[in-house]
Structure 1
Amino acid sequence: MKDCLTIRKYVEKKALCLLFLFVPVMSAAQQGAGWEAVLGEMAALEDEPEAAFEEMHDVLSAVAEHPININAAGRTGLERLPFLTDRQIEDIQEYIGRHGVMRTTGELQMIPSLDNARRRLLECLVYAGEPPHDGRRPLSESIKNGRHTLVATAKIPFYSRKGDINGYLGYPFKHWFRYDFDCGYRLRAGVVGAHDAGEPFFSAGNNTGYDYYSYYVVMRDIRPFETIAVGKYRFRTGMGLVLGNSFGIGKTAALSGSSRSGAVIRGHSSRSEAGYFRGAAATARLSRRIKAGVFVSHRPMDATLNADGTAATIITSGYHRRPEEMAKKNNTHAAAAGLTAAYSSDGIHVGATAVYTRLDRQLRPKTGAVFRQYYAAGSDFVNLGLDYGYIAGALTFRGETATDRHGAIATINTVGVTVAGGLSLTAVQRFYSYRYTSLYAGGFSDGGSIRNESGLYLAADWNISRRVSLSAYTDFAYFPWPRYRVSGSSKSADNMLSASYKAGAWTVGGRYRLRLRERDNEQKTALVPRTEHRARVSAVYAGPAGYWNCAAQTDFSQAGGDDVSRGWMFSGRVGHRRPCFSVSLSAAYFDTDDYDSRVYLHESGILHTFCFPSFHGNGIHCSLFATASVWSGMTVNARLAHTAYFDRSTIGSGYQAIDSSSVIDLEVQARMRF
């Protein structure tokens, strides 16, 4: 048996080496030059992508299906693109106003505040069409010209988990559907049904079929309302200290500024079972300078209960595979209401937000651990926030200050300046009291939450020429109260430097990230430093449509203190695209000492799915992605992924344990548009 295992490992390794001989010569990514590849690069800079990237991917998927006419979009249309800052939107509008029209998207290079990543995203999502004619198109005409889209997806594993054999209530297949009725900017409606592997279907508590449903209707420009949302939706104001349950894109987003000012409402069209409201919301422009918004919500949540029936923690995973998980489903409810108001004139913005939330169970976290002592507690929550900003020439200033019912303060302030020569500088200061609590906060932080953190972030983004760009940031954070695995006050430093060079169809890039943190020693008597190094070198050849492209990438990682953990990965992708058919193959070999030195890989994925797996240990990973237009309006996508480990005989633990050293997954998707 051991001899067979040895032969198998030898064959797999040799086959991989042979594959990599071809990858640098003819490798490609089916979406290597598309918006998904750019978003993947932005996520890769974060090393550990947040769930926020899933939301970003979902929104941009919808825009990609209906690209925006940049000459007709106006400010409200450009605000559909969540990666743009206020400064960038102002500069685009100013450019179009000065020249009358943007003739090609290549003119985006003339806007200095646009860094390379955002410019490339824009080129994929907008087009330079005819300028708008006088008068608005009636809503009835928009509805008549609307398009229906139905997407059905299934993920089939060619293996069994421990829970699939004994423990899970349902079968091992994951599947979901999504229906959208899209009339462009003015009206969008949809329904989503999602089912995770192991969850029951039409049984054991899920009598309506899918474990999770989302539904929404979003209307815009229905005067006097700017936006009206009914069903499940997301609402964000200011910089997210009070209402941040939309998304940001990590520290890389702050290279040219932070979140936009004003209220933003979007339909909750993703499969995430957290971070949304259920009810109705609206924003209206009361005058040329004043805008107001309101929302009401009542939604169920999952919670782990204490013996007295109070809630110990709010659960956001959305898994209901085992009887104990199903027992927690929708066992707590939250009612919320909020008001927003904003004034803007001549580059000045001032806004206010007030939110009240009541839980039908008292939230009482277990405070035996010191780091949980100031977690959100009680059944009534009140948050007030004031956001402000000023844009003048090359200078941008923005900030928000918020408080909770106990008077605890959270504040964040940013200053950005665009210097001649394509250089943008940004500074972000924040102070989040360890006593501050908000159930819906989400914004810029190093610790992952809007509490218990003070910090200063400095960044520079320099587009030296159309070919060369440099980006760098340094972020220092201080955490006054103990955190998980940190028994006292601690600090951290995060530093990143990246560069890219583009020559014709070739793009060569590199980046290095250094993170310094503190953690308890084994005896929990003192804090010990933890250092993390991550480096990446990549080369991409993006040939014309219909030709082979190529991409290759090498990653290095080192983490730890006295116990250093190292890892590396080499990956490549090969593919080809035609108008009605495309295919891509990716492969990677990874070798890391443990989980601390894990590596990440962005891959082509099926629609509405952000594919960014991580790997640790020693093994190979391969995936084959193909898409074909079967007939007019019908597209079929498929992704086959295989991961084989050389250093273990089982994968995972607990109910997710797989009694094998390799796994194979198949995802199949059909999309119909009519």
Structure 2
Amino acid sequence: MKEYLFALILLLIAPTLKAQQPHDWEKFYDELASQQDDNNDSREEIFEILSELEENPINLNTATKEDLERIPFLTAEQIEDIQAYIYRYHGIHTLSELMLIESLDATRRNLLANFVYVQIDESLRPYPSLHQIATQGTHTLIGTGRIPFYDRQGDRNGYLGYKYSHTLRYNFHYRDYFQLGFVGSQDAGEPFFAQRNAIGYDHYSFYAEIRRLKVIENLVVGRYKANFGYGLVISSYFNLGKTAALSSLGRQSNTIRPYASRSQAKYLQGAAATIRIAPNLKLSTLLSHRPVDATLNPDGTIKTLLKTNYHRTPKEMERKNNATQTLLATNLNFQHNALHIGATALFTRLSRQLSPDISKAYLRNNPTGNNFWNISLDYSISRPRLSIAGETATGKSGGIATINKLSWRTTETISLLAIQRYYAYKYSSLLAESFSAGGNTQNESGLLIGANYNLGSILTILFYTDYAYFSHPRFRAHTASHAWDNMLSIAYTIKHITISARYRLKIDEKDAPKTKILTQETTQRARLSLAYSNIHWQTQTQFNLTHCNRPTPSLGYMISQAIVWHPTDVISLNTLLGYFHTDNFATRIYIYERGPRYTLNFPSFFGKGFHYAFMCTANLTKHLMLLLKLSTTKYFDRSHISSGLQQIDHSSKIDLDLQLRYKF
């Protein structure tokens, strides 16, 4: 009863508070994430990256190529054009000058303003003193929590902790020169200041970064992430997927950044640095030693390296930190005008031997042993309107992996992209994360061809077709198989109104249930949207439709209405209403939903029911921001939700999200 009373009081006082404006970049994120149905980690990662960039924008006049590559929607050509403009005209004085950069379309110009600023004299200043950093830096403290007004089966008997989830973030930064911070994260059901979490949160991430210190481009101590080339050897960054690759024309990046995510799967721990050893030559070195979750075989070897990060039950807790992973990597990067050449070498050691269950056909070519190594060469050649790039790698297993892309801006409005990849069934890297249809940089060859037509801010058309072939067994396919993925998206804007439509056809060969006969699973997804926006209002009416032929022909649809209202500069309210009706899980509907910063809200719905959410964001003072969100899902076709320890013995569920940010 106290929880309900607390929620009611907060909702009543919220309309009197001052609010921040809604974030335009979230609409772009919606366009990217709505196409990537199966990779929640990637969605959450990109959302956190964009939230971080909004909190700590980049000064365009001092930004390096690697800085701009952190912005996922910029193409390689646009990054080069921005830097060429700054070099030619000795800086950008106002963001309106971005209109003079030919390759930047109106959509990207508007988005870019959320993540960058211009300060013309910053690059001329000497490196700041410790006193400057300490007294002029910005502190940001963010607390986020979720209160569920229901009990799961595991909350009553099974989970080690309580039903609430919460995250605490702290960041201190001084411009582009220095930052430090930490993240503490707790999932629902995990113990807090108890058992193996005696020091508090289940997950902590601490980091400090120094940048632009003479020959040191950046130095990170603590937890960090890194990416070189196209990720065939090492990438702890997100994989944006096909739609985003088309939007950014498949560019690569070589970056090392602090790890500020609540996820526990992809971080490195130790130290990493990039130094400039010559005008056109950079050297990056990584050293990492971290614990990893693993299920063990009876003989103590590792059966599976885990990335789920849940430690809610005694069994899940037993898998926590069962092994350690030590890593040493280096990258040499040569850049001269339009030519880039890079070389990467990686050595990894596990404290226990990796020994997967090879009785399963799709695991027979997985890596085994304690020690692993990989090397690769990557390249890029960028000319006006044309870019060619790629990476080729090998490793301990002897297999080869290669990915190559060609992007061509044929006219001011049309861009074309082709991405070819070949990942041998023998190739493996424990830290690889690259473009793929099957989710792994192994046992896949394929070709994506796409086109992007952009007529200013009026008309945008995106299209791709992607064919992939898997020469050996994979999960749910006992023999060689293939997949074919196609997407067409059209958006038309006139004044305040945007009409958009999207259709996706995906054909994937999988084993028929309880048999070893390959059959085609055909999934079709369509979306039609009508949006209106002005200074005070943003509305979006959306219709989603899904059809799948397996296990039996089934259909699903959802009608939703989103409203954002900020009548003055002091308040912002968000509402989402939706009715869904699907035959089964195969025809589930995904829909993007705004929520607290750094928190993914991309739920899926199946069955028959109604969903609504209300969110209010407010600035209590100049430094203090409060966010409240109440969401409800009511099902009409069941008396309980989910199953096992996650089962809720009711046909509806209500969650309250709270976020408090203090910035000074």
Fold match by TM threshold 0.5: yes
Q: Which moved more, 1:453-462 or 1:198-207?
A: 198-207
Indicate if the aligned counterparts of 2:77 and 2:384 stay in contact, CA closer than 8 A.
no
Q: From 198, 209, 215, give the equivalent of 1:207.
A: 198
CA deviations 1:81-133 (Å, max 9, x no partner) are 24433222002222344555556545545545446654442132224554656
Determine the C-alpha separation between the residues in 2 that align with 1:384 and 1:301.
23
Indicate if the aligned counterparts of 1:239 and 1:258 stay in contact, CA closer than 8 A.
no
**Residue of structure 1 in register with 2:387 after alignment:** 396
Q: Within 5 A, what are the aligned runs for 1:475-624?
A: 475-544=466-535, 547-561=536-550, 563-577=552-566, 578-624=568-614
Determine the C-alpha separation between the residues in 2 that align with 1:259 and 1:144.
41
User: How far has the Cα of 1:332 moved from its partner?
Assistant: 0.7
**Residue of structure 1 in register with 2:313 after alignment:** 322
Q: Which moved more, 1:65-74 or 1:262-271?
A: 65-74
Q: Which moved more, 1:69-78 or 1:548-557?
A: 69-78
Determine the C-alpha separation between the residues in 2 that align with 1:556 and 1:276.
37
Indicate if the aligned counterparts of 1:257 and 1:414 stay in contact, CA closer than 8 A.
no
CA deviations 1:585-612 (Å, max 9, x no partner) are 1111111111111111111110111211
Q: Which moved more, 1:222-231 or 1:248-257?
A: 248-257
TM-score of the superposed pair, with normalisation by structure 1: 0.92
Matched, 1:636 2:630: no
Matched, 1:224 2:202: no
Matched, 1:467 2:458: yes
Which letter does structure 2 place at the counterpart of 1:458?
I
Q: Which moved more, 1:236-245 or 1:84-93?
A: 84-93
Matched, 1:249 2:237: no
Indicate if the aligned counterparts of 1:116 and 1:469 stay in contact, CA closer than 8 A.
no
**Residue of structure 1 in register with 2:162 after alignment:** 171
Flag the 1:454–1:139 CA change in 2: closer, same or farther, 3 A. Answer: farther
User: How far has the Cα of 1:139 moved from its partner?
Assistant: 4.5
Determine the C-alpha separation between the residues in 1 that align with 2:458 and 2:266.
39
Flag the 1:203–1:224 CA change in 2: closer, same or farther, 3 A. Answer: same
Matched, 1:369 2:360: yes
Which letter does structure 1 place at the counterpart of 2:354?
L
Matched, 1:51 2:41: yes
Determine the C-alpha separation between the residues in 2 that align with 1:176 and 1:464.
42
Matched, 1:670 2:660: yes
**Residue of structure 1 in register with 2:113 after alignment:** 123
Flag the 1:599–1:527 CA change in 2: closer, same or farther, 3 A. Answer: same
Q: Within 5 A, what are the aligned runs for 1:397-416?
A: 397-416=388-407
**Residue of structure 1 in register with 2:24 after alignment:** 34
Flag the 1:229–1:101 CA change in 2: closer, same or farther, 3 A. Answer: closer
Which letter does structure 1 place at the counterpart of 2:467?
F
Determine the C-alpha separation between the residues in 1 that align with 2:465 and 2:230.
20
Which letter does structure 2 place at the counterpart of 1:293?
S
Determine the C-alpha separation between the residues in 2 that align with 1:133 and 1:111.
21
**Residue of structure 1 in register with 2:13 after alignment:** none
Flag the 1:262–1:46 CA change in 2: closer, same or farther, 3 A. Answer: closer
DSSP 3-state at the match of 2:26: helix
**Residue of structure 1 in register with 2:140 after alignment:** 149
Indicate if the aligned counterparts of 2:20 and 2:570 stay in contact, CA closer than 8 A.
no
Determine the C-alpha separation between the residues in 1 that align with 2:155 and 2:64.
52
Determine the C-alpha separation between the residues in 2 that align with 1:393 and 1:586.
44
**Residue of structure 2 in register with 1:661 after alignment:** 651
Indicate if the aligned counterparts of 2:341 and 2:378 stay in contact, CA closer than 8 A.
yes
Flag the 1:107–1:495 CA change in 2: closer, same or farther, 3 A. Answer: farther
Determine the C-alpha separation between the residues in 1 that align with 2:325 and 2:191.
25
Determine the C-alpha separation between the residues in 2 that align with 1:449 and 1:106.
42
Flag the 1:205–1:76 CA change in 2: closer, same or farther, 3 A. Answer: closer
Q: Which moved more, 1:57-66 or 1:413-422?
A: 57-66
**Residue of structure 2 in register with 1:299 after alignment:** 290
**Residue of structure 1 in register with 2:280 after alignment:** 289
Which letter does structure 1 place at the counterpart of 2:208?
V
CA deviations 1:323-357 (Å, max 9, x no partner) are 11111111111111111101111211111111101
DSSP 3-state at the match of 1:167: coil
Determine the C-alpha separation between the residues in 2 that align with 1:318 and 1:562.
31
Indicate if the aligned counterparts of 1:257 and 1:415 stay in contact, CA closer than 8 A.
no
Determine the C-alpha separation between the residues in 1 that align with 2:167 and 2:517.
48
**Residue of structure 2 in register with 1:313 after alignment:** 304
Which letter does structure 2 place at the counterpart of 1:246?
Y
Indicate if the aligned counterparts of 1:493 and 1:517 stay in contact, CA closer than 8 A.
yes
Matched, 1:442 2:469: no
Gaps (5+ residues) in structure 1? 1-28
CA-based RMSD of the aligned residues comes to: 2.0
Which letter does structure 1 place at the counterpart of 2:590?
Y
Determine the C-alpha separation between the residues in 1 that align with 2:270 and 2:343.
21
Q: From 334, 341, 345, give the equivalent of 1:350.
A: 341
Determine the C-alpha separation between the residues in 1 that align with 2:526 and 2:99.
28
Matched, 1:646 2:611: no
CA deviations 1:143-168 (Å, max 9, x no partner) are 43111111112111100100001111
Which letter does structure 2 place at the counterpart of 1:575?
V
Q: Which moved more, 1:197-206 or 1:236-245?
A: 197-206
Indicate if the aligned counterparts of 2:465 and 2:484 stay in contact, CA closer than 8 A.
yes
Which letter does structure 1 place at the counterpart of 2:650?
S
Flag the 1:610–1:111 CA change in 2: closer, same or farther, 3 A. Answer: farther
Which letter does structure 2 place at the counterpart of 1:361?
R
Determine the C-alpha separation between the residues in 2 that align with 1:287 and 1:380.
33
**Residue of structure 1 in register with 2:11 after alignment:** none
CA deviations 1:499-536 (Å, max 9, x no partner) are 11111222211111111111112352321111111111
Which letter does structure 2 place at the counterpart of 1:430?
R
User: How far has the Cα of 1:425 moved from its partner?
Assistant: 0.6
Determine the C-alpha separation between the residues in 1 that align with 2:401 and 2:66.
29
Determine the C-alpha separation between the residues in 2 that align with 1:51 and 1:305.
24
Of all paired residues, the percent bearing the same amino acid is: 42
**Residue of structure 2 in register with 1:10 after alignment:** none
**Residue of structure 2 in register with 1:428 after alignment:** 419
Determine the C-alpha separation between the residues in 2 that align with 1:649 and 1:87.
55
Gaps (5+ residues) in structure 2? 1-18
Indicate if the aligned counterparts of 1:238 and 1:260 stay in contact, CA closer than 8 A.
no
**Residue of structure 2 in register with 1:385 after alignment:** 376
Which letter does structure 2 place at the counterpart of 1:207?
A
DSSP 3-state at the match of 1:643: strand
Determine the C-alpha separation between the residues in 1 that align with 2:100 and 2:20.
29
**Residue of structure 1 in register with 2:351 after alignment:** 360
**Residue of structure 1 in register with 2:10 after alignment:** none
Indicate if the aligned counterparts of 1:388 and 1:398 stay in contact, CA closer than 8 A.
yes
Determine the C-alpha separation between the residues in 2 that align with 1:182 and 1:580.
27
User: How far has the Cα of 1:215 moved from its partner?
Assistant: 0.4
Indicate if the aligned counterparts of 1:263 and 1:293 stay in contact, CA closer than 8 A.
no
CA deviations 1:185-242 (Å, max 9, x no partner) are 1111111111111111111221111111110011111121111000000011000000
DSSP 3-state at the match of 2:639: coil
Which letter does structure 1 place at the counterpart of 2:484?
A
**Residue of structure 1 in register with 2:7 after alignment:** none
Which letter does structure 1 place at the counterpart of 2:537?
W
